[in-house]
DNA sequence: GAGGTCCAACTTGTCATATAAGCTGCTGAC
DNA sequence: GTCAGCAGCTTATATGACAAGTTGGACCTC
């Protein structure tokens, strides 16, 4: 009766163009398609047995990720990998885990640079309503420590709330992309978040600094939080590497 | 909609879907389309006199900018403006100038946070080849002070080179996405009479710190450079506002 | 009347075919 | 050797048809 209750792990059915784009991207990454020459609409429709419409939308998707260049009359060309849109969760899903792992660290590096400043900015201009919402989320988090997935949902919302309070659409957009990136990569690596208990305490510290409208305090609290995050990230990566090594 | 109906000053010929997407976005921004209800494929194809294929691609474009949500069977819905992809050059082109002006300042705020750190990171790991390229660009800039447009090209390349040297694909992508606005803001600032001369000196300072592999120095030099940029940006904005007021 | 089932209408997803328009590289004239 | 021009490739757009998913209301049950 009630709809819209998709479980987080629900295998979302993706459209044909997305599936084909995933295949092609993986082939490009693996070096199966030589740089500079990508298949045309006709090639794609024949090889994958789809209509030209689907082949066309596939190329549009790849173009929107800056993976290829498409123009009328010209052949499709693969763009340099350095220019691909690594902020897109779609692309991240298609990349091999070792690259995703690297990107995760680079993502964290970005968060370390931005989030403490965002917290400081937020402390200067945060509203009572936002503080109320943060408090609510704080309570929900401490109640959800047994359910990592649900916890992470609220965790992200907590961080995004602070980001929004900083009142900068560019920075907000960046963190919004980062949020999806984080969940996408977590889905790939299937990595269990650790240290939820500690995280809650750290969130509380950030909240207190915001309530006090103390930019320095908020910056410092956020910085502590992220540096703790980083250690667990590294630990988890270590475990993964070991697991991967054992599998060989 | 026939092919020659673009506005006269539109230099680049854009595809039909892009043109229609521009129209629709402007209508949404102006409040002409009530939030939460966007036109369907059929509505679009009838109203603009285009085929369903074009209407469809239009919606795909809007969806890729997070302006709308599209799913099979469901009606198209307009997403909250706070979640639109303000990092996309397409969207920016379609927004009214006052919003673009605000975004310009928000972008600058982001650069102030990121670029000094990028410079510091680069100083720690920069290669001789990159330093050589930076030197070349430095020379070209001082030779191009009479030609603002060409100067800006090299200016941009200089900043991106440093960004690339920091060796972080996420941060690189962010700065790359911001390229359009970066050049836009730099074009404005460098319209100021003494702008280019001072900018060249500041670039040289950054370069020297990188050669010395001095993170602190590079960070400080970049910070000075950006804060100078900012003062001229504010001045220019003031002038523009006055001009606009006079025109009324 | 409240609550649930089911279907018809609407919407997006995909297919097939045809034509227009733009680019590339080769041919052939000079 | 140079360059105009054409042939053959490519993407862009149009049209019509059907598949598949959603929505909202009619209708049925209790």
Full DSSP string of B148-212: HHHHHHHHHHHHHHHHHHT--HHHHHHHHHTHHHHHHHHHHHTTSTTHHHHHHHHHHHHHHHHHT
Nearest to A213 by CA among A85, A86, A84, A126: A126
Task: Please tell me which residue of chain B has the smallest CA distance to A178.
Answer: B170
- Say yes or no: Cβ of B54 under 7 A from any atom of strand D: yes
Instruction: Let me know: does A37 contact A78? Beta carbons within 8 Å.
Output: yes
Residue A87: other Cβ atoms inside 10 A: 26
The mean per-residue pLDDT over the stretch A4-8 comes to: 32
Report the share of chain B in percent with pLDDT over 90: 50
A169 vs B: CB within 8 A: yes
B40 vs A: CB within 8 A: no
Task: Please tell me which residue of chain A has the smallest CA distance to B86.
Answer: A170
Q: Do residue B169 and residue A109 have CB atoms under 8 angstroms apart?
A: no
Q: What is the pLDDT of residue B1?
A: 38
Distance in Å from C1's C1' to A3's CA comes to: 25
> Which nucleotides of chain C does any protein CB come within 7 A of?
4-5, 10-18, 21-24
Q: What is the pLDDT of residue B241?
A: 56
pLDDT beyond 70 at A188: no
- The whole-angstrom distance between residue A106's C-alpha and the CA centroid of its chain comes to 12
In this complex, the residue of A60, A87, A102 whose CB is nearest that of residue B60 is A60
Nearest to A89 by CA among A103, A79, A76: A103
Strand C: residues with CB below 7 A: A 1, 15-17, 49-54, 57, 71-74; B 3, 13, 40-42, 52-53, 56, 59, 70-76
If you average pLDDT over every residue of chain A, what do you get? 83
pLDDT beyond 80 at A70: yes
Q: How many CB pairs under 8 A join A and B?
A: 75
A223 or B146, greater pLDDT: A223
Q: What is the pLDDT of residue A55?
A: 95
pLDDT beyond 60 at B242: no
pLDDT beyond 70 at A220: yes
Sign of CA dihedral A183, A189, A190, A192: negative
pLDDT beyond 60 at A7: no
Q: What is the pLDDT of residue B21?
A: 96
The mean per-residue pLDDT over the stretch A201-205 comes to: 90
pLDDT in tens, B134-163: 999 999 988 887 777 778 788 888 999 999
Report the share of chain B in percent with pLDDT over 70: 79
Q: What is the pLDDT of residue A231?
A: 59
pLDDT in tens, B192-218: 545 667 788 899 999 999 999 999 999
Distance from CA of B181 to the nearest CA of A (A): 11
Distance in Å from D11's C1' to A241's CA comes to: 45
The mean per-residue pLDDT over the stretch B164-178 comes to: 91
Q: Which residue pairs from B236-243 have beta carbons closer than 8 angstroms and sit at least 24 positions apart in sequence? A: B236/B188, B236/B189, B236/B191, B236/B192, B237/B101, B237/B188, B240/B101
The confidence band for B238, taking pLDDT boundaries of 50, 70 and 90, is low
pLDDT beyond 70 at A233: no
Kindly state the tokens that stand for B117: 């750190």
pLDDT beyond 60 at B4: no
Q: What is the pLDDT of residue B177?
A: 83
Lowest mean pLDDT among A179-183, B82-86, B243-247: B243-247
Q: Do residue A85 and residue B174 have CB atoms under 8 angstroms apart?
A: no
pLDDT in tens, A112-156: 999 999 999 999 999 999 999 999 999 988 888 777 777 888 888
- Say yes or no: Cβ of B50 under 7 A from any atom of strand D: yes
Read out DSSP for chain A?
-------TT--PPPPHHHHHHHHHHHHHHTT-S-TT----HHHHHHHHT--HHHHHHHHHHHHHTTSEE--TTSPPEEPPGGGS-TT-HHHHHHS-HHHHHHHHHHHHHHHHHHHHHHHHHHHHH--HHHHHHHHHHHHHHHH-TT-HHHHHHHHHHHHHHHHHHT--HHHHHHHHHHHHHHHHHHHHHTPPP--HHHHHHHHHHHHHHHHTT-HHHHHHHHHHHHHHHHHHHHHHHHHHHHHHHHH-
CA dist A237 and B152 (Å) reads 42
Q: Which residue pairs from A126-134 have beta carbons closer than 8 angstroms and sit at least 24 positions apart in sequence? A: A126/A165, A126/A210, A126/A213, A127/A165, A130/A161, A130/A164, A130/A165, A131/A207, A131/A210, A131/A211, A133/A161, A134/A158, A134/A161, A134/A162, A134/A207, A134/A210
User: Which residue segments constitute the domains of chain A, with CATH numbers given?
Assistant: 16-82 (1.10.10.10), 89-247 (1.20.120.530)
A83 or B3, greater pLDDT: A83
> Three-state DSSP class for B68?
strand
Query: Which range scores top for mean pLDDT: A33-42, A151-160, B8-17, B222-231?
Result: A151-160
Q: What is the pLDDT of residue B86?
A: 92
Q: Measured between beta carbons, which residues in chain A are less than 8 angstroms from residue B172? A: 82
Exposed, middle or buried, A8 (CB in 10 Å: 0-12/13-18/19+)? exposed
Q: Which nucleotide is nearest to B75 (CA to C1')?
A: C11
pLDDT in tens, B108-141: 899 999 999 999 999 999 999 999 999 999 999 8
Q: What is the pLDDT of residue B236?
A: 56
Q: What is the pLDDT of residue B40?
A: 93
Among protein residues, the one whose C-alpha sits closest to the C1' atom of C24 is A74
Q: What is the pLDDT of residue B143?
A: 86
Residue B176: other Cβ atoms inside 10 A: 22
Which residue bears the tokens 């909240």?
A207
Stated length of chain A: 248
If you average pLDDT over every residue of chain B, what do you get? 82
Residue A113: other Cβ atoms inside 10 A: 18
Cα atoms found within 13 Å of the Cα of residue B161, Cβ hemisphere only = 23
């Amino acid at each position: 009766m009630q709809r819209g209750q998709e479980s987080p792990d629900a295998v979302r059915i993706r459209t044909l163009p997305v599936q084909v784009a995933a295949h092609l991207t993986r082939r490009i990454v693996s070096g199966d398609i030589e740089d500079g020459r990508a298949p045309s609409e006709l090639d794609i429709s024949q090889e994958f047995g789809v209509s030209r419409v689907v082949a066309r939308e596939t190329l549009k998707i790849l173009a929107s990720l800056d993976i290829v260049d498409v123009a009328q009359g010209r052949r499709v060309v693969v763009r340099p990998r350095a220019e691909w849109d690594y902020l897109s969760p779609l692309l991240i899903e298609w990349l091999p885990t070792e690259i995703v792992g690297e990107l995760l660290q680079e993502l964290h590096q970005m968060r370390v640079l931005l989030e403490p400043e965002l917290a400081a900015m937020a402390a200067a201009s945060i509203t009572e309503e936002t503080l109320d919402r943060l408090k609510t989320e704080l309570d929900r988090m401490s109640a959800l420590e047994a359910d990592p997935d649900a916890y992470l949902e609220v965790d992200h919302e907590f961080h995004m709330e602070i980001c929004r309070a900083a009142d900068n659409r560019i920075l907000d957009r960046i963190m919004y992309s980062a949020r999806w990136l984080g969940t996408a990569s977590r889905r790939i690596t299937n990595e269990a978040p650790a240290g939820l208990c500690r995280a809650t305490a750290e969130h509380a510290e950030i909240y207190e600094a915001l309530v006090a409208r103390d930019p320095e305090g908020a910056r410092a609290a956020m910085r502590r939080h992220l540096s703790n995050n980083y250690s667990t990230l590294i630990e988890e990566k270590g475990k993964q590497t070991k697991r991967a090594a054992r599998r060989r």
